A and B are shown apart, each in its own frame.
Chain A
């Protein structure tokens, strides 16, 4: 069964303390891996798309990387406003509609 697993489930950082979130996946043919940020009571906000191993994307304090089995979201010198739940989602190539499967998320809290 295809799976998307995120770790850790929760992460508490001091402001300025860099760290990484992990998204591991087991799908037969990856078409794309997406990172989203979700604030409480809001819908997920799109951050990055990664399509092939070795690809990297950056936006402000966030950098996403992709290997054949996992993706990392690196957060450099985080600020309290980076506190949110970070979701990864994997799109698989299996003919017809390419379903997107979400991981369970990492809840990040950045303490001032």
Chain B
């Protein structure tokens, strides 16, 4: 079991749906991350939050909208996704930017 909890584990949605992915950590980490991972590929960074403020947006399409309500929670709001957005979405956290990241087990997202 990981210390970073992601829900749901699996999500199937249509291209017109709105859904949210959730991530929670209680390790006191101040940096949190969203990654996208396609099959047989490494994780690709999407967003970084540092002390609850968005510090990095890696040119992610606006149909992905991150939110950090507090230091323990990170959400990823999804709207009007495309089939190519189907992937494993990983959340990670770390004490600070130069510390190891601890990952959740991800949400497997399928867009119909």
A residues neighboring B (CB under 8 Å): 31-32, 34, 36, 41-46, 49, 87, 91, 97-100, 102-105
Of the stretches B12-20, B42-50, B63-71, B75-83, the one at the interface is B42-50
Q: Residues of B contacting A100 with CB < 8 Å?
A: 45, 101
Task: Give 7 closest A-B pairs by Cβ, nearest first.
Answer: A43-B103, A102-B42, A46-B100, A43-B105, A44-B103, A42-B105, A43-B90
When the two chains form their complex, are residues B42 and A103 in contact, meaning their CB atoms are under 8 A apart? Answer: yes
- Taking CB atoms, residues of chain B closer than 8 Å to A31 are 98
Q: How many residues of B contact A (CB 8 A)?
A: 25
B-to-A contact residues, CB < 8 Å: 2, 4, 41-45, 48, 50, 55-56, 88, 90, 92, 97-106, 108
What is the CB-to-nearest-CB distance from A102 to chain B, in angstroms, rounded to a whole number?
Answer: 4
A98 touches B2 (CB 8 A): no
Q: Is the CB of A32 within 8 A of B42?
A: no
A99 and B41 contact, Cβ closer than 8 Å, known pairs A45-B103, A46-B100, A49-B100: no
User: 29 interchain pairs (CB within 8 A)?
Assistant: A34-B100, A41-B88, A41-B105, A41-B106, A41-B108, A42-B106, A43-B2, A43-B4, A43-B104, A44-B43, A45-B2, A45-B103, A46-B100, A46-B103, A49-B99, A49-B100, A87-B43, A91-B98, A97-B50, A97-B56, A98-B97, A99-B45, A99-B56, A100-B101, A102-B43, A102-B44, A103-B42, A104-B41, A105-B42
A34 contacts across to B, CB distance below 8 A = 100-101
Besides A44-B90, A46-B100, A97-B50, 9 more A-B contacts (Cβ < 8 Å) are A43-B103, A45-B103, A46-B101, A49-B99, A91-B98, A99-B45, A103-B42, A104-B41, A104-B42
Give Cα distance in the complex from A46 to B2, angstroms. Answer: 11
**Closest A residue by C-beta to B102:** A46
Residue of B nearest to A98 (CB): B97
**Chain B's nearest CB lies how many Å from the CB of A48?**
8
